[in-house]
Structure 1
Amino acid sequence: LARKSTINDVEHFSMFLDCNDDSVYDHWRVDHTTTIALVNRVKPESTKSTTFSNCFEKGSESWGRKECMLFSDIENIAEGFIQDDKVVLKARISVEAVDGMKKIVPYDFSQVHDSDSVTLRIGGENVYVSKGYLATHSPYFDALFFKDFKENSQFQIELKDVSAQEFIEFLHIVYPSNKPITVDSYKYILALADRFQVQMHCIKSFASPEAVKTIESTHEFKKFSDALKIALFKRVLALIKG
């Protein structure tokens, strides 16, 4: 992060590094050494850099230098740091130790894993899932697999009007893969969570109220059911309360 800081009525150019600042977990740490450089576009040998080593952890997710250089020096074109109203920053980060970070555990839905598996046929592809696991989290799949539906005696069930790849990404959220919802995936994952009735389970992946508020401003939000909107609202309240 680069920003302007005022210290004793003097404006300085400041550079900071943030790490895992939206984590909902309390016990984690990252030891690192970082060099951040403000590149001189005219005289590379005059590039300004700062190096720091420290430990990021919950409550100390940001660290850097407030007084890297005078902001007036950057604004002075003759100094060579600014061109076309732009500056160039380079960062070299060396991570020395990591503790308490959850790792993404990939789950292969193209393989049969146990006797409880059932084949979901989606767009010509086979997706293998555990009937019991999905039924535990989803009333939709509980009814599909175990209630009075003809599908409950079938070993292969077709799901229509869904992309196989998007459904697999959705499964990574339902299963304990620790795979986060991203800006690229949240629209279809929430739509699938709504369709298959796993709203509360999926929205636990949102780690800040801001992430939920971003969704509320989208066109897709209007299409969500009342149940999903209520679940999102409850998630915001839980995050605010901490």
Structure 2
Amino acid sequence: MTKRNNKRPPPPKRQRIEAENNQNAENNTNDQHPLTLQKMYDTCQEVLEKQKNLEKIHENMLKEVLEKQKVFVDKLCSVENELQLIRDDLKPRIVKAAVPVKRDDEDETDSESDNESDTMPTTGKNFVLKHVFKNVSNMKEDEHRLSEAEEYYGVKWRMGVRRTKEHLEFYLHCPKLIDTANWTIEIQQKGVFISNRVENTVKKGKQIFNNKSPAWGWPGFIAWDVLEKNLLVDDQLTAEMHVKIKKTTGIYKDHLRSFDKTMEEFSDVVLVVNEEKFYVSKLYLAAHSPYFKVLFLGNFNDSKKSEIKLNGIDADDFQNYLELLYGEHPIDEFTVEGMLMVADMYDTPMVIRKCEQFLLKESKKKLKKKLELSTRYNLEALKKKCLAEIKSIGDLQAVLPGNVQDLDKSIMGELLEKSISLHN
């Protein structure tokens, strides 16, 4: 009997190959799985690291932007502060004197100082002369020293000192430069010797200058030994003369137009300046000046008055101001500064413009004076012309005040740029 073989026949070759391939694939899958997870983890870590780096970059960028913004804001605040200082400087104000002064009812010749303070208005015809007298201890008896002449309101002014045997005289000098014989200038003056060790030496008084008396002051302003002990610094004496022009005669031209009582029938208001009356038209002045428009047409107590007092100006200056408004031409070297002061005070563009044209085309005033007027009254065309005429270091030095701290803030930057360009 034939013995039965229970073994299965081997599968076909193709099936064997496929089975082997499937087994190998399964084995490969099992072998690669751990590696694939590791790669995924590494990739995630890499993404997280990049995200952290980006966040750090963004944080740094934000800090940088905030820092720049802070610097910018600080600069804006600084500019605003500077602008506010300039605006404050341009406002009329009452300034407390930095030195004590004598009362009018006290002896003005023998006293040398006083503990009482005083105030001085900056409106009206006020100016201050400043000068440093050098090598003072070498002055001989009866020797005179004069400061450089400076022009204010068409007149040149100087300070002078003279040594006597035991004192130093101090006086204000108004040299004769006016053709008319009968001119007068009534002033209030205050002389000051500056000290950094004791109280400033101060005296004040009222004087009238004319062609016969062109200088006034104090014969015994300070004892010579006191001067040497308390006031000289490096053998230099710092002096100031504060001047207020109260009244002038014979300096300006004859009136070109009347505003007195003869004009009463053509006027509807009387303006009083230093007790002098001007008969004018409200509507005519209001048309040229926002100040007068508010004064005459606004809802104020003065608006209904038939007579209004104006303070802080000179009657002659107001006369010239009105003449120009009414079509006359009173502008000359003597009148232009006073007219600018009045026109600026009462915001009258037409008068300011005509005064600027005179300074641009006709005036023979020094460059320093023109530049000073251009900054004080915001005369941009004149300022531009003055700056263009500064062509050398000598020109630049000529327009600077003795103390650079006295330079108008609004012109500092432009003069600095001019200085840099000249040095280059």
TM bucket, shorter chain: 0.3 to 0.5
More helix by share: 2
Which is higher, the Rg of structure 1 or of structure 2?
A: 2
What TM-score, normalized by structure 2, do the two folds share? 0.27
The structure whose RCO (Cα within 8 Å, separation 6+) is larger is: 1
